[in-house]
């Protein structure tokens, strides 16, 4: 997998964090759904262990952000 996929993920996660910081939960949630779909696609096509580990880290982070957006944290 190309590392630029992870750069896109990193930048997108930062956007979510910025939305949360600005109390724009609807925008944060929409971006989170978009990033989750991208992550699912990456997971479907990844074969390298290192990529799968990195993807799992993003899955955990997205879950935490989802909890933060929805006030369940």
Q: Identify the domain containing residue 49 by its residue range.
A: 3-69
The pLDDT-based confidence of 1 (bands split at 50, 70, 90) is very low
pLDDT in tens, 15-27: 999 999 999 999 9
pTM of the predicted model, to two decimals? Answer: 0.88
The pLDDT-based confidence of 3 (bands split at 50, 70, 90) is confident
CA pair distance 68, 17, nearest whole angstrom: 10
Contact 60, 9 (CB under 8 A): no
End-to-end CA distance of the chain: 33
Total number of domains in the chain:
1
pLDDT in tens, 45-62: 998 999 999 999 999 999
């Amino acid at each position: 997998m190309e590392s630029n996929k992870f750069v896109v993920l990193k930048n997108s996660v930062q956007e979510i964090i910025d939305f949360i910081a600005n109390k724009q939960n609807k925008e944060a949630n929409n971006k989170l759904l978009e990033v989750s779909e991208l992550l699912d696609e990456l997971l479907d096509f990844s074969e390298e262990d290192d990529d799968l580990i990195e993807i799992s880290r993003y899955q955990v982070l997205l879950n935490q952000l989802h909890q933060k957006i929805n006030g369940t944290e």
